[in-house]
Chains A and B, each alone.
Chain A
């Protein structure tokens, strides 16, 4: 092997591959990748497991390589593959771990464009296969595959052109205020402003709109999603003057008639109405029409939709009837309302988990969630027809979370509209910055029912952990009041949005506030 130290590496590969690139070389190379590097199917994996050992020493480690000219596997670390290359004059080998091509003439790994292309394709294929094969063993996180291989983004020619023609750049530093903008009150429209602040600071929603992912199919100018997109452009434009959302207000009046007019409205109602209109205007993100209104794939559903499990247990035969309904928010009853708050059911103390302060005996968000997920006896006047007993029986009903949304919105039911009275419940409810929803999951309930009362918190399971990012507050009475929002910027900076006025807030300000709508974002995003 000649001295190759003067050869400079170039992305065009090396000249020594030419003798390999003959006849059916592409297909041969693909086969090697499929069988011995990235084995996607059970069959190829088995073959790989059996045959990928060094033909000279039997080792399976030591950076095993395969000769590209013949069927010979040998380890690199012990130079066994080098011996083969020398004696047989086969100057190319492939690393079975990472798929890199080694040239013994150049004495280094080479990067041939054609070969790289084949490698990329085969790797993607193998990953896809692994994602869909039903494997007999399920890993701890119940994921059977690995998902799609991550590849870094590279700009297209058109994108490079656009970047050249638009040289202005905005620098995002850790304390810049981009994204913060006040909203003018157009006459009791704080109920809308407070929700807009929360939505424009929902990270996933922001990313969706700022990367122009909405492709509008509506003929008219009344698409609310387009208007949201425009709103995000305004918020992240860098303008510091307050924005006047008259077009948004008009569209809301058009699509949600019950919210029209200048009287005071409920922010929670506006949130649900807005999500509903956005969901209807979005259609499926992949371009397909939303056939099933309960199960579409639009960005709203991806971010906000969770699944609430309702288990009705017959008190006689103990048969359980389960239904799962989608939800965008969780409405929680508060102590002080006419619905009884105590006593709570035993088991699964979430308060200790979420580190909330019970200093003054204040109710916590976790208390409210425990109450929400408690088994409730439905009473003799509300017997359910049991399919096991074939007759009407008394039963208990219990709600738990089947599927958690990426953004969980908790609605504290502060406005009582019962037949007797209409009032606002101002009970202080303490809520945490970080929330673990594990105790309220359907799966946790199952383990409790199997007798595992002592729930060991799995430190490696991050699926149910949430961080607070927005709080909507209401000041005043049922008849006359004002909405404001605390939103989280960067990691630990909070700001108070009071219509057109934005001020810096402390974490204490946020956590001491009454709380009406609490927005939590999942800390870790997992693949499906």
Chain B
């Protein structure tokens, strides 16, 4: 019964989603996903992005009150700013890494 629902899910996905899912599978299988995550983490810390986000979180918590704020609140508040503040150089490097990986493992 489980596999049925998965097959249905697969069929209802768009071609683009399916491609994304396949790429993600490959990245996860080969452990590249974890490596990329760590690379990204290091880059975002280096350029000060992490500190900026931390400061913003503190602001949100102050606003909402420590007792009542939820992770959801924080996510909603900081996600758009976080996405916008990622430096282009970091995006470039990650993209370059992913492309290189896919080129190496083209099926």
Q: Do A and B come from one complex?
A: yes
A49 touches which of B9, B25, B71 (Cβ 8 Å):
B25
Residue of B nearest to A133 (CB): B31
CB pair A54 B9 closer than 8 Å: yes
Given A5-B68, A55-B5, A108-B70: A136 and B12 interface contact (C-beta under 8 Å): no
Docked complex Cα distance between A146 and B34 (Å)? 8
Looking at B47-55, B80-88, B99-107, the stretch in contact with chain A turns out to be B99-107
CB pair B21 A146 closer than 8 Å: no
Q: Closest Cβ of chain A: how far from B13's Cβ, in Å?
A: 5
Given A53-B9, A140-B97: A45 and B28 interface contact (C-beta under 8 Å): yes
**CB-contacts of B16-38 with A (<8 A):** 17, 20-21, 24-32, 34-35, 38
> Is the C-beta of A310 less than 8 angstroms from some C-beta in chain B?
no
CB pair B12 A137 closer than 8 Å: no
CB pair A49 B70 closer than 8 Å: no
Docked complex Cα distance between A61 and B25 (Å)? 11
Residue of B nearest to A54 (CB): B9
Residue of A nearest to B13 (CB): A58
Docked complex Cα distance between A48 and B21 (Å)? 12
Given A53-B6, A58-B13, A60-B21: A137 and B104 interface contact (C-beta under 8 Å): yes
Dominant SS at the A interface? Answer: loop
**CB-contacts of A60-106 with B (<8 A):** 60-61, 71, 100
* Band of interface residues on B: 20 to 34
A58 touches which of B2, B6, B27, B72 (Cβ 8 Å):
B6
Residues of chain A with a CB closer than 8 A to B5's CB: 55-56
Q: Closest Cβ of chain B: how far from A362's Cβ, in Å?
A: 36
Given A58-B12, A58-B17, A59-B17: A146 and B100 interface contact (C-beta under 8 Å): no
Docked complex Cα distance between A100 and B75 (Å)? 14
Mask: chain A, 132-143; 1 = CB below 8 Å from B; 0 = not: 010111011000
Docked complex Cα distance between A55 and B12 (Å)? 12
CB pair B28 A48 closer than 8 Å: yes
> Is the C-beta of B63 less than 8 angstroms from some C-beta in chain A?
no
Interface residue tally for chain A (C-beta within 8 Å)? 34
Given A58-B17, A107-B70: A135 and B30 interface contact (C-beta under 8 Å): yes
> Is the C-beta of A169 less than 8 angstroms from some C-beta in chain B?
no
Docked complex Cα distance between A54 and B5 (Å)? 10
Given A45-B31, A107-B70, A137-B32: A146 and B38 interface contact (C-beta under 8 Å): yes
CB pair B100 A140 closer than 8 Å: yes
Q: Closest Cβ of chain A: how far from B102's Cβ, in Å?
A: 11
A137 touches which of B9, B28, B30, B71 (Cβ 8 Å):
B30
CB pair B34 A130 closer than 8 Å: yes
> Is the C-beta of B93 less than 8 angstroms from some C-beta in chain A?
yes
> Is the C-beta of A460 less than 8 angstroms from some C-beta in chain B?
yes
Q: Closest Cβ of chain A: how far from B23's Cβ, in Å?
A: 10
A146 touches which of B9, B26, B35, B105 (Cβ 8 Å):
B35
Residues of chain A with a CB closer than 8 A to B21's CB: 53, 58-60
> Is the C-beta of A8 less than 8 angstroms from some C-beta in chain B?
yes
Residue of B nearest to A97 (CB): B37
Q: Closest Cβ of chain B: how far from A244's Cβ, in Å?
A: 43
Residues of chain A with a CB closer than 8 A to B72's CB: 107-108
A130 touches which of B31, B71, B105 (Cβ 8 Å):
B31
CB pair B71 A108 closer than 8 Å: yes
Mask: chain A, 447-487; 1 = CB below 8 Å from B; 0 = not: 00000000000001000000000000000000000000000
Residues of chain B with a CB closer than 8 A to A491's CB: none
CB pair A49 B97 closer than 8 Å: no
Q: Closest Cβ of chain B: how far from A92's Cβ, in Å?
A: 15
Residue of A nearest to B72 (CB): A108
CB pair B30 A136 closer than 8 Å: yes
Q: Closest Cβ of chain B: how far from A8's Cβ, in Å?
A: 5
Residue of B nearest to A52 (CB): B28
Residues of chain A with a CB closer than 8 A to B68's CB: 5
> Is the C-beta of A236 less than 8 angstroms from some C-beta in chain B?
no
- Residues on A lying within 8 angstroms of B by beta carbon are 5, 8-9, 39, 42, 45-46, 48-50, 52-61, 71, 100, 107-109, 130, 133, 135-137, 139-140, 146, 460
A-B CB contact pairs (8 Å), 9 listed: A39-B28, A49-B27, A49-B29, A55-B5, A55-B6, A56-B5, A58-B12, A60-B25, A136-B30
The 10 closest A-B pairs by CB, nearest first: A58-B9, A49-B28, A49-B25, A108-B70, A49-B29, A58-B13, A109-B71, A60-B24, A146-B38, A46-B29
